[in-house]
Structure 1
């Protein structure tokens, strides 16, 4: 299936998950709007505030995971994609990663381990396990084996692929195991997390968008939503997803899901952006939910002559010296995707560095027979 994100409306009738289909890369980023919606609370979130509150502690991600474990155009100046090369060896804990209770308490005086990022997974659980194993981050059974290494997932765990809930469960498991070993495994909120949460909460409640009558459920189905994921979505998944940050900085890298400047519309600092997104998800305003999803579905802001300036706006506001993002598949960024069938004319071998060396794209196009990318930062 091609990776285009669409909004439902008269010109795009509601449908289920689509087979590989013709896509016009220039049609990405349609606008939409939503009004009204039922008041509803989620299990696992505070009944009064509806969410975790303005500030979310940095360690919440690991704590929640431990609890759960226990329970287009080619831009000529762009450099070529980088081959990932051979994996870099990382230290392993003394005990098997699966035996979380047997891992000794980490020594805070030891230096942190290497930093890795993971691009869009979209339900491809087997491919994720293989990619993590190739980098020495998990063992043959899929348990953490990377000691004090650090991983950030860039969002979009579900939709289009066969096992989105399995992906979420694996990430939560690895977060618990990594924390016990002195490393960490964390994740950002992507637009498909927003869409899944919206489809669960607002379902097929009719809403009026600029494209006509729509619903979160219709948009979710139109964008590859898998019924088996919705059927298996549990309260602890919902609570965990709703508290993911939208933006982070690590080792001078500004980590985002989407290649858009829309983050600036939610705050002038990382804390402000994350707090605002969490407040939206804690609200009963479906219009705000839809607007948040719509904004983070925009793409391609870092491409072309104005791309470096757009990246610079984000770096000036949030810090870091380079943006690392997912969302837009590399074949579309480089102009190597065929609009006729969504396939790429060139195999993706690694991350794509572009925008005057200020941006790194990590969506290898696994949904279009590409590659699920896991890369160590910094890239050369």
Structure 2
């Protein structure tokens, strides 16, 4: 019996072929630091995607996968848990269209509408709070997101909140590469309102692709000074899977909501980040300072400052390798919590499986625990035919 037989992942809806470019890049340069921080021996800062010789077995190709299985067994056939409207679409002959359908959200959103609030508050404080869930990078794969949320009981067969007082955090990167980024944003905003009405909440972090998407919208082809030459937000956005139909459907209420998202949060001892980088330390010594700095930047600063923030939050692999536990420990020591939970870097790259030449779909049975169990990776690599992960915390 193979590992895939023991831990089958869900059969993903047919959203079309995944693009070849899976890791973010900057025009005319790399997203990696040319000089890794000296205080983290063995940290991943080189320009190669291959693990260094003698690197920690935590991210060796199959060792990492076994380690993940030990902590996150997956049972059952998740392909049987699709929402009813998705199952019907899968049985029907697919129609030719540019974008998959999105959920109808009713009239346009205004500042008075509860969808506009990024932080709907839970119900009365005397009531017990519900379980905590996190959602990895979605990148426009709306059908896969609905299927994963339904599998966990967070939405019903029509795609509406069904989890009562549960708490859900999205870890960022709603758009780019996949077919319906705006549909994903609309769904998250809808669930935020529905969860608040039920006494729970649905919240989201700002990922580097939110910065990139907002920058492409606001600054377009305006030149910015990158470390490797002149670039533009639009060029970087297109290079990293930007979808023109998402930009055309972007509206004012989407922009307002995205710009108010936090970059970092702490829930039940879990430090929630989008990117597996220590760059957050460059924006403040507390969670409030970091979030205030990002919000001020997006409100007041210019294209070069936006670009610098995007560049910093596009770094990755800080918790991988020998120096990873030290890097994760510094973030936890500064902002609190006992474990970092992040998206951004697809698990197949962290385990080394993305570097094999088998041509097979990456094996991602669930979240990946690493860095001496100080970090949990939640990007299941949906853009590379991996898996869109939704997990209840704590992952043990």
Do the structures match in fold with TM over 0.5? yes
Q: 1:77 to 1:213 in 2, by over 3 A?
A: closer
Equivalent residues in 2 for 1:176-195, closer than 5 Å: 176-195=193-212
Q: What's the counterpart of residue 168 of structure 1?
A: 185
Q: Distance in 2 between matches of 1:150 and 1:230?
A: 30
Structure 2 matches for 1:1-380, cutoff 5 A? 1=19, 2-9=21-28, 28-29=31-32, 72-73=50-51, 75-77=56-58, 80-82=67-69, 83=72, 85=74, 106-338=123-355, 346-380=362-396
For residues 362 and 178 of structure 2, the distance between their equivalents in structure 1, rounded to whole angstroms, comes to 22
Shift of 1:348: 0.3
1:351–1:360 Cα contact (<8 Å) kept: yes
Q: What secondary structure, in the 3-state scheme, does the structure 2 residue paired with 1:81 have?
A: helix
CA distance in 2, matches of 1:28, 1:136: 37
Structure 1 residues 345 and 75, CA, compared in 2 at 3 Å: closer, same or farther?
A: farther
Q: Kindly indicate whether the alpha-carbon contact (under 8 Å) linking 2:363 and 2:386 is maintained by their aligned counterparts in 1.
A: yes
The residue aligned with 1:45 is none
Structure 1: runs of 5 or more not aligned? 12-26, 32-71, 88-97
Deviations 1:198-248 (A, max 9, x none): 000100012332322210000000000000000000000000000100000
Instruction: Give 1:339 shift.
Output: 6.8
Q: CA deviation at 1:287?
A: 1.3
Rounded to whole Å, the distance in 2 between the matches of 1:379 and 1:339 is 27
> For the residues of structure 1 that align with 2:362 and 2:376, how far apart are their CA atoms?
18
Displacement of 1:8 in angstroms is 1.3
Q: Structure 2 vs 1, CA of residues 198 and 242 (structure 1 numbering), >3 Å: closer, same or farther?
A: same
What secondary structure, in the 3-state scheme, does the structure 1 residue paired with 2:159 have?
coil
Cα distance in 1 for partners of 2:195, 2:280 equals 29
How far apart are 1:81 and its partner, in Å? 1.6
TM-score (norm 1): 0.77
Higher-RCO chain (CA-CA 8 Å, sequence separation at least 6): 1
8 A Cα contact 2:224 2:307, kept in partner:
no
CA distance in 1, matches of 2:252, 2:304: 23
Rounded to whole Å, the distance in 2 between the matches of 1:310 and 1:361 is 15
The 3-state SS of whatever aligns with 2:68 is coil
TM-score (norm 2): 0.74
Aligned residues: 310
- Displacement after TM superposition at 1:77 (Å): 3.9
CA distance in 2: counterparts of 1:130 and 1:77, whole angstroms: 30
* 3-state DSSP of counterpart to 2:391: strand
Relative to structure 1, the CA distance from residue 318 to residue 77 in structure 2 (aligned partners, 3 Å threshold; closer, same or farther) is same
- What residue in structure 2 maps to residue 58 of structure 1? none
| Mapped partners of 1:130, 1:316: distance in 2 | 36
Matched residue SS, 1:337: helix
> In 2, distance between residues paired with 1:375 and 1:346?
19
